[in-house]
Amino acid sequence: MSNEILAIRNMSYSYPGRKIFENINLDLDCGVFYALLGESGSGKTTFLSIISGQDDRYEGEICYKDREIREIGLTKYRRSGVSIIYQNYNLLGYLNAVENVMLAMDISDNVRKPDAARALELLDKMGIDEKKARQKTSKLSGGEQQRVAIARSLLTDSPIIAADEPTGNLDWKNSEEIVSLFEKLAHENGKCVVMVTHNEELAKKADVILRIDQKNAVINVDAVQQTVQ
């Protein structure tokens, strides 16, 4: 049975005077951890914006569970299909981790009412114990803050996690730990994880490396580390 969650068909994208992608055909599967590599300015953030329903100025089709995302409605797709993780965590520093997660529960319309027990459970799963979860997030380390952001992203139970340089502000040890979390989310929780990184060594920990070839405006599936059933 196919695990396909997103099918990118003949997708092209340009900014005025600059072609970024031309005729991309790519299937993304649940249970697979993808690393997206490419030089600065090659289009990594643009690609994530397109597949996460934040930019609809592409040609071709992006199908989520066989339906074009513009037909589903980008707002609806963003709410239920995809979670986005940023390099700078996007937490409210004056709130603690539980409050950050609960705030997201409050503004998501497809999850249960704010529930501290559920927030603590998600945080614990991501390696944030209750003591840490009760501290202001501005007092946590970068690695811990990113764990909180990942816990928050799990609230909506979206099948796709799109992360734009999530380890960009972290040292090697923390980067490896965050990457291990993504690996776990793909392999144990069946998520389709797409992680942008500049780091070739980190990218090697993914199942599949997608490499943007800027000159030809294409994406090469550059290496497959292991077979995922």
Ligand X SMILES: Nc1ncnc2c1ncn2[C@@H]1O[C@H](COP(=O)(O)OP(=O)(O)OP(=O)(O)O)[C@@H](O)[C@H]1O
Is residue 88 a contact residue for Mg ion (CB under 5 A)? no
Largest CA distance in the chain: 52
Q: Which of 31, 43, 53, 81 touches ligand X (CB under 6 A)?
A: 43
For residues 60 and 10, is the Cβ–Cβ distance under 8 A? yes
User: Footprint of Mg ion on residues 44-63 (CB under 5 A)?
Assistant: 44-45
Q: Which of 11, 35, 46, 211 touches ligand X (CB under 6 A)?
A: 46
Is 187 exposed, middle or buried (CB count within 10 Å of its CB: 0-12, 13-18, 19+)? middle
Is residue 44 a contact residue for ligand X (CB under 6 A)? yes
Strand pairing report for 67-68 and 192-196 = unpaired
Q: Which of 10, 19, 25, 41 touches ligand X (CB under 6 A)?
A: 41
Q: Which of 31, 38, 53, 159 touches ligand X (CB under 6 A)?
A: 38
Least distance from ligand X to the Cβ atom of residue 212, Å: 7
Cβ proximity to Mg ion, 136 vs 198, nearer residue: 198
Query: Contact residues for Mg ion (CB under 5 A)?
Result: 44-45
